[in-house]
A and B are shown apart, each in its own frame.
Chain A
Amino acid sequence: MTSQHDDLAALLDALRDAESGDAAPAHVEAAVMRAWDASRAAQTPPARLSVLSQFASVAAGAVIAAGLTVLGGHLRSTTAVRASLAAGTSPTVILVGEPILDGEHVRLVRMRLPAATLHALGVRSTASATGDVDVDVVIGEDGVARGLSLNP
């Protein structure tokens, strides 16, 4: 029994020595530090808008509008619409595409659209086609919209 115990102890020592130099690969550190940078960037208070950034915001709005158009077509042809599209007053959440990864740096763009525009796209989340709807669009790191929240 003692011999067996000694053999096992020697084997455990050998395994400890064999493993002792191993560490997580460099790409893990890179991913962790990217997550750190993304988390800090998200906490940075927004600076005052410069003319350039205002222009960029307008451009981004245009891109979002175009994206919504494409998205509308997508929604009509897929079953990705998770929420009830019936009229109501609670926010309607629509998820599309890939899920957001843990630690992914996403942007939230809030805009106001005529309800008629959404109706035309096939998103009938409001009781009527008149008036405006507040829309929150979640955009992933790759610039693709991942979800919409419609607040009638």
Chain B
Amino acid sequence: MQDNEDPARPAEADHALVERTAAGDREAFATLYRRHQAAIYRFARLMTGSPTAAEDIVQEVFLVLMKDAARYEAQRAALTTYLFGMARRITRRRLLRERRFVDIGSSRGARWSVTADASAALERRDALQQLRCAILSLPSRYREVVVLCDLQDVPYDTAAASIGCAVGTIRSRLHRARRLLATKLRRAEGAHSVAGAVMRCAV
């Protein structure tokens, strides 16, 4: 989860940075932001399908951290768990509020004009876009475990703590989510011409 840190200096532990943040240390807060923002951004974007919403969610997560740094208890959860949990709550609240409609027409509807030498790369892009759409159409309880465990490499116990469920629940949801994804991709493969310009993003 680390980004943009000086490799010449040993990385300071998250909990120490949070303590310094609570004491008003701007540099500590900036380091925490740079260390964790990318993972939160990717999580939020995959969950919402919207870069703009993901930016808002990143901002909101770190504003909460800024205000509540003194209340974070390192012995209860790693900062990663705490941040993913917060991002999840904010994302779900946002999805429930907005009942987002995700535009998938611009990428799926416009079939790229394929030249012979570029066709493999474009097919790959197409497949990844179909996968993104399939993930977005999953119910959020399944989508979040795929995004966390399969796409962010978050350990099962961390995902369980972030979501607030048992590790066994993570495993079963992941199993179910993958089956749903496989089914959706198979259907998408068979119905390439469906002009579903707008797809409801399940909450």
Q: Which residues of A contact B (CB under 8 A)?
A: 4-5, 7-8, 11-12, 14-16, 18-19, 22-25, 28-29, 31-33, 35-37, 39-40, 43, 102-103
Contact = CB atoms under 8 A, between A and B. Distances in A.
Interface in B103-148: 124, 127-128, 131-132, 146
Nearest to A25: B55
Interface in B141-182: 146, 150-153, 178, 181-182
A37 B66 CA distance: 11
B66 A11 contact: no
B186 A32 contact: no
A24 B55 contact: yes
Interface residues of B, number: 37
A13 to B, nearest CB: 9
B37 A8 contact: no
Which secondary structure dominates chain B's binding surface? helix
B63 interface: yes
Contact of B30 (A33, A39, A43): A33
A103 B56 CA distance: 13
Contacts of B42: 19, 22-23
Contacts of B150: 12, 16
Contact of A4 (B30, B37, B186): B186
Contact of A102 (B63, B124, B131, B182): B63
